Structure 1
Amino acid sequence: MTFLTMHFLGLSGMPRRIPDYPNAYARWNSLSSFGSYIFVVGICRFFVVIAITSSSGKNKRCAPSPWAVERNPTTPEWMVQSPPAFHTFGELPAIKETKRYVK
Structure 2
Amino acid sequence: MHFLGLSGMPRRIPDYPDAYAGWNALSSFGSYISVVGICCFFVVVTITSSSGNNKRCAPSPWAVEQNSTTPEWMVQCPPAFHTFGELPAIKETKTFENKQNERK
How would you bin the TM-score normalised by the shorter chain? 0.5 to 0.7
Structure 2: tracts of 5 or more residues without a match = none
Q: Shift of the alpha carbon at 1:36?
A: 1.0
> Residue 61 of structure 1 contacts residue 82 of structure 1 at CA under 8 Å; is this kept in 2?
yes
Aligned identity (percent) is: 70
Pick the aligned partner of 1:22 from 8, 17, 23: 17
Q: Which residue of 2 aligns with 1:54?
A: 49
Question: How far apart, CA to CA, are the structure 2 residues paired with 1:67 and 1:22?
Answer: 63
What is the TM-score normalised by the length of structure 2? 0.67
Q: Structure 1 length normalisation: TM-score? A: 0.67
Q: Which residue of 1 aligns with 2:61?
A: 65
Shift of 1:52: 3.3
Structure ID, larger Rg: 2
Q: How large is the RMSD of aligned CA atoms in angstroms? A: 2.9
Q: Which residue does the alignment assign to 2:4? A: 9
Given that 1:65 and 1:78 are in contact with CA atoms closer than 8 Å, whether structure 2 keeps it comes out as: no
C-alpha spacing 1:55/1:31, structure 2 compared with 1 (3 Å):
same
Query: RCO (CA 8 Å, sep 6+): is it higher in 1 or 2?
Result: 1
Between Structure 1 and Structure 2, how many residues are aligned?
Answer: 96
CA drift of 1:32 comes to 0.7
